[in-house]
Amino acid sequence: MTESATELARPLVVGRKRDGRNCYDPQAKRALVEACLQPGVSVAGLALRHGVNANLLRTWIGRYRKNRETRAEPSAALAAFVPLVTARPAPQARTGLCATLPNGIVLDLNDLDAAELARILACLAGLPCSASTRR
């Protein structure tokens, strides 16, 4: 639709309120807003041609876009865009152990996998217990 061919099928102003403000036909408002959304159309020019304040017409356009976004079906939005998800292998479970022995030695075994930690604990379990030896 070009600017020169923006005749509305219905009259835009259908009455006046007591305070002097105009009452507008909803279908004519919608047709005018849809005409404004066409590429290359001057909103101010259309507002002037139809006797509407340009700021009021811009407010109608904002409401129209907001209503159109809220009425959009979720399935239509999903059909237009499908996110790409890359599957990563699950990280291997890591266990950690940090212990300070009575003699001041610190065992920091935080970066070991479960198999390595099990071997070290088996070796430590085979050592004689310091509580059982007499000094």
Domain ranges of the chain: 3-74, 94-126
Find the distance separating the first CA and the last CA of the chain, reported in whole Å.
Answer: 101
- Residue 49 has φ and ψ, to the nearest 5°, of -65, -30
Please give the structure tokens belonging to residue 76. 């239509």
User: Which residue bears the tokens 């001041």?
Assistant: 104
- Residue 26 has φ and ψ, to the nearest 5°, of -60, -40
- Measured CA to CA, the distance from residue 5 to residue 1 in angstroms comes to 6
Q: In Å, how far from its chain's centre is CA 131?
A: 61
Q: What is the mean pLDDT of residues 28-46?
A: 92
pLDDT at residue 63 is higher than 50: yes
pTM of the model: 0.49
- Residue 1: predicted pLDDT: 45
Q: What is the mean pLDDT of residues 29-43?
A: 92
Give the H or E element holding residue 85. none
pLDDT tens digits for 91-121?
766 566 777 878 888 878 777 777 887 887 7
Percentage, residues of the chain above pLDDT 70: 77
